[in-house]
Amino acid sequence: MKNKIIEGFSKLTKEEKINWLTQQYVQGSNELKNILKQYWNQKSELQKIHDEFTENTISNFYIPYGIAPNFLINNEIYAIPMATEESSVVAAAAKSAKFWLNKGGFKTKLLGNIKLGHVHFIYKGNKAKLQQWFQCQLKEELIKESIDITKNMRIRGGGITDIELVDKTEELESYFQIKGSFNTQDSMGANFINSCLEQFSITFKEEFHKSNIFNEEEKENFQIIMSILSNYTPDCIARAEVKCKIEDLKDDSGISPKEFAWKFKQAVKIAEVEPYRAATHNKGIMNGVDSVVIATGNDFRAVEACAHTYASHKGKYTSLTHCEIKNDEFNFWIDLPISLGIVGGLTKLHPLVIASLQILNNPSAEKLMQIVAVAGLAQNFAAIRSLITTGIQKGHMKMHLINIVNQLGATEKEKQYIVNIFKDKTISHHLVSSELEKLRNTPK
């Protein structure tokens, strides 16, 4: 056990890290070494870029990078890059794009672009006095002392849009917040927001302790706990929607347009009221969202956290998409809270991220948010369409079939045979394995 504890691991070369890892955990396996090295990029300068994205790197972890074409968004055609390993995600997005191509396509707009951060603090004193001091003195000082930090952002049209004092004492004793609202333009803004908040903390603490308004007891019972941005951005929202006459909802499954619209709306309503369904419903949306977020070098963990928090903001977890039928018109939309950037982070470093943004015509951050919302809506439309007609497994398992035969070590000839056999059959790992075994045992 002691041999598995190491000091100075980060200082080892990549080769030394791999040697230590294989010796301690896989008995010096050359197979593991070869696998890890197999994924190194042969161009050393490109590998160096990848190595410096994070710490203790020993290899690269590849995710398939695909394209979903034919997206008509605000009367402009897009091919959307998607990085995902899950079967049928790209195919489903492309299928939705094709379905809506001659029905007006996707329409989008930004409902807000404000991001938030907080200084969390404890104050045991007179609330009214604190509020008055904040409004009459502190708020102006916070903006003034952050002027150097916000200069470049203000030049680009962003910066601090508001600062508020928030009383949270009903939820936690003596707990207050300084809530900052920010417009970060084309950057996701985490570093900018956190720098502002930390300056708020310094200014707040200095001004509070030198103020004559608060007595010694209040000053002793004042404590700043932390300063940090929030990944929940309910005022930074992109809307994507599709709409058409019900009669145009013709589906090759044989279901009538009227029944299609009714069943589709019911499926969405079920996700609105039933959290068990909403979780899977929204997961499907995030299949589309995350794949574009990853392909464009943005933080999919932040995007996930924000989306699921927003789905719960009324006290019950619910659907991110909504459907309405009115005057014989079908309307399906998503309001997606999302914070993205096209500058900073990996956006100017990762070659595929740069390529993704070029493919998308180098969008602004606000336009990228809307494109991502479209990807989420398209994915959800494809999933619900399958669920209310042929069932989700028919399309998904066809895509998954290749994964199964690859796991079973099938040759190209065997793959073609199995794909043909299961063209109109139910697919499962057991059934595929059985058919492959039969094939292999058939006398040549």
Catalytic positions, written as ranges: 86, 283, 299, 396
Report in angstroms the alpha-carbon separations of 291 from 6, 257, 282, 442.
36, 31, 14, 42
In the numeric block, the tokens 């008055």 are attached to 132
Tracing tokens 């464009």 back to the chain, one arrives at 296
User: What secondary structure, in 3-state letters, does the chain show?
Assistant: CHHHCCCCHHHCCHHHHHHHHHHHHCCCCHHHHHHHHHCCCCCHHHHHHHHCCCCCCCCCCCCCEEEEEEEEECCEEEEEEEECCCCCHHHHHHHHHHHHHCCCCEEEEECCCCEEEEEEEEECCCHHHHHHHHHHHHHHHHHHHCHHHHHHHHHCCCEEEEEEEEECCCCCCCEEEEEEEEECCCECCHHHHHHHHHHHHHHHHHHHHHCCCCCHHHHHCEEEEEEEECCCCCCCEEEEEEEEEHHHCCCCCCCCHHHHHHHHHHHHHHHHHCHHHHHHHHHHHHHHHHHHHHHCCCCHHHHHHHHHHHCCCCCCCCCCEEEEEECCEEEEEEEEECCCCCECCCCCCCHHHHHHHHHCCCCCHHHHHHHHHHHHHHHHHHHHHHHCCCCHHHHHHHHHHHHHHHHCCCCHHHHHHHHHHCCCCCCCHHHHHHHHHHHHHCCC
